Amino acid sequence: MIGILRFPPENMPVVRPHIRQLVEATRAHDGCIAYDVAEDLFDPGLIRFSEEWPDEASLMAHLKAPHIAPWREAARSLGLIERKFTAYDGENARPV
């Protein structure tokens, strides 16, 4: 799965610790193969996600994991402007 989140650039110092917490919890508990996040160097406030899951069930479990709801609430409160994720299964793509 690949995706983006966009925040107001001036909010990024406050957003970063929340993203770190999300990434650490996901890597430790959700069974992902890879879960990588990076700020776009040329588009301030844009965060890029790259995720690899063993199967769709693991991805769906991740989306319901206990740390996801608090992350989503924090993201909204920190000015989330845009969220776009697409899941790929080798042949097809679908928004998530």
Q: How far apart are CA 30 and CA 33, in angstroms?
A: 9
Q: Three-class SS of residue 10?
A: helix
| CATH number for 47 | 3.30.70.100
Q: For residue 75, what pLDDT is reported?
A: 98
Three-state SS at 7: coil
Average pLDDT over residues 65-84: 97
Q: How many separate domains does the chain show?
A: 1
Instruction: Output the DSSP codes for 19-85.
Output: HHHHHHHHHHHS--SEEEEEE-TTSTTEEEEEEE-SSHHHHHHHHTSTTHHHHHHHHHHTT--EEEE
Helix (H) or strand (E) holding 11: none
Question: Residues 31-64: pLDDT tens digits?
Answer: 899 999 999 999 999 999 999 999 999 999 999 9
